[in-house]
């Protein structure tokens, strides 16, 4: 009987195996298995933002990427996809590469000049706080059988240096004026590849759904720093997943039990307009966070293939070497917003008492939500 052999790759030289397998194989056969790198880096004045992501899909033999900028309501995105097995050791696709200089401290992201858009950058990120794990995101499909999400993620607050070139304009980036966040996740992920055609797929637009994901870094008057992070998913007023922590500069984490919000959204495009978060710290103790967008800048992740874009989705086979991209003048416009989806890395300014800082606030709010003044007629994903 023929037995297909395991593949050896350079990582197998390292003393970090945890399974009786080579690094070419993951311990899960689900084709939704994904390892993902993401970063959202921005000027503190809200003038421009760089977003990028790299996805590795072992069981699909695909690696893909997106990299782009948001500049007010304008957005540019470059995407590429390739066959993973053609170069399994490269952490990059097409014109984009990612690397680690000092583990858990310093990394770099580079987008070279390319044939899709006149956009390129070379940035280095350096930690200002340790990396922090979020609670494992393990969720079942609505009928309760298949595990549709089983992900572990850590994220890290950073400062940024380097440059970005948009058209003929080169913008220099320094650590005093730029900040941001990066994350790394792995596991079985929702919304990878084309929706299956021979199984029941629930229509998300029929439920009332809320998603919030936000890391926020605060600086006290004495210069010390801390982070508040939360990730909420809610369906028809029932919380299906929540992870929340105060993350301290010594690496310790204090759990947040839950939260309520007094946020406002634009009813036409459902962009976050700001508001207040009240955190339940337990034993009757609460904390209040004020949130406001710095500007119109905020990268729509739909163009990075989150929830699909122009018939393409995360991890989809697009051939051994694929490259495309586009520019939108105004992502807040009614019809464009529906094309690029709600999920957006909104750049926010935050405060808690005399501590102030910046964050990324991602939101999706589908369906009817009277407390926000949102009705179903204008709902979209």
> For the chain, which domains are there?
31-194+206-378 (2.40.370.10)
Statement: residue 347 has pLDDT above 90: yes
Question: Tell me: the pLDDT tens digits for 98-136?
Answer: 999 999 999 999 999 999 999 999 999 999 999 999 999
Work out the percent of the chain whose per-residue pLDDT is above 70: 98
Q: Which run of H or of E encompasses 335?
A: helix 334-340
Rounded mean pLDDT, 246-250 = 98
The span from the CA of 240 to the CA of 284, in Å, is 23
Stated pTM of the model: 0.96
Mean pLDDT of the chain: 95
- The reported pLDDT for the residue numbered 24 is 86
- The reported pLDDT for the residue numbered 45 is 98
Question: Tell me: the pLDDT tens digits for 276-312?
Answer: 999 999 999 999 999 999 999 999 999 999 999 999 9
Range with lowest mean pLDDT among 95-109, 145-159, 200-214: 200-214
Q: How many CB atoms lie within 10 A of CB 347?
A: 28
Statement: residue 33 has pLDDT above 70: yes
Statement: residue 142 has pLDDT above 80: no
The span from the CA of 357 to the CA of 345, in Å, is 16
Q: Which of 223, 227, 135, 222 is nearest to 180 (CA)?
A: 227
The span from the CA of 26 to the CA of 33, in Å, is 8
Q: Which run of H or of E encompasses 340?
A: helix 334-340
- The reported pLDDT for the residue numbered 195 is 80
């Amino acid at each position: 009987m023929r037995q297909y052999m395991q593949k050896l790759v350079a990582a197998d030289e390292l003393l970090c195996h945890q399974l009786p397998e080579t690094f070419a194989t993951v311990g899960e056969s689900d084709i939704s298995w994904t390892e993902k790198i993401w970063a959202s880096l921005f000027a503190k004045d809200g003038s421009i933002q760089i977003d990028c992501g790299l996805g590795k899909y072992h069981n699909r033999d695909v690696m893909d990427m997106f990299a782009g900028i948001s500049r007010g309501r304008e957005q540019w995105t470059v995407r590429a996809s390739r066959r993973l097995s053609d170069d399994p050791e490269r952490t990059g696709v097409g014109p984009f590469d990612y690397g680690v200089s000092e583990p858990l401290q310093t990394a770099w992201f580079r987008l070279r000049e390319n044939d899709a858009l006149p956009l390129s950058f070379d940035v280095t990120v350096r930690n200002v706080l340790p990396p922090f794990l979020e609670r494992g995101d393990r969720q079942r499909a609505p009928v309760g059988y298949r595990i549709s999400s089983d992900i572990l993620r850590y994220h890290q607050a950073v400062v940024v240096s380097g440059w970005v070139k948009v058209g003929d304009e080169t913008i220099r980036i320094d650590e005093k004026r730029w900040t941001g966040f990066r994350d790394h996740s792995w596991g079985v992920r929702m919304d990878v590849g084309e929706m299956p055609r021979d199984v029941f797929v629930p229509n998300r637009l029929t439920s009332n759904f809320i998603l919030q994901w936000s890391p926020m870094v605060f600086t006290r008057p004495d210069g010390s720093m801390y982070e508040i992070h939360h990730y909420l998913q809610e369906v028809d007023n029932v919380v299906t997943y929540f992870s929340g922590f105060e993350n301290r500069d010594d690496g310790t984490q204090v759990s947040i039990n839950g939260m309520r919000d007094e946020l406002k959204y634009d009813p036409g495009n459902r962009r976050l307009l700001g508001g207040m978060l009240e955190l339940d710290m337990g034993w009757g103790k609460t904390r209040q966070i004020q949130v406001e967008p710095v500007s119109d800048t905020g990268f729509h992740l739909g163009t990075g293939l989150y929830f699909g874009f122009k018939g393409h989705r995360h991890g989809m086979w697009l051939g051994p070497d694929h490259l495309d991209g586009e520019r939108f003048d105004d992502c807040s416009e009614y019809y464009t917003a529906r094309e690029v989806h709600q999920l957006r890395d909104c750049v926010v300014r935050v405060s808690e008492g005399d501590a102030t800082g910046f964050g990324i606030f991602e939101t999706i709010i589908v369906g009817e939500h009277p407390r926000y003044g949102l009705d179903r007629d204008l709902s979209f994903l």
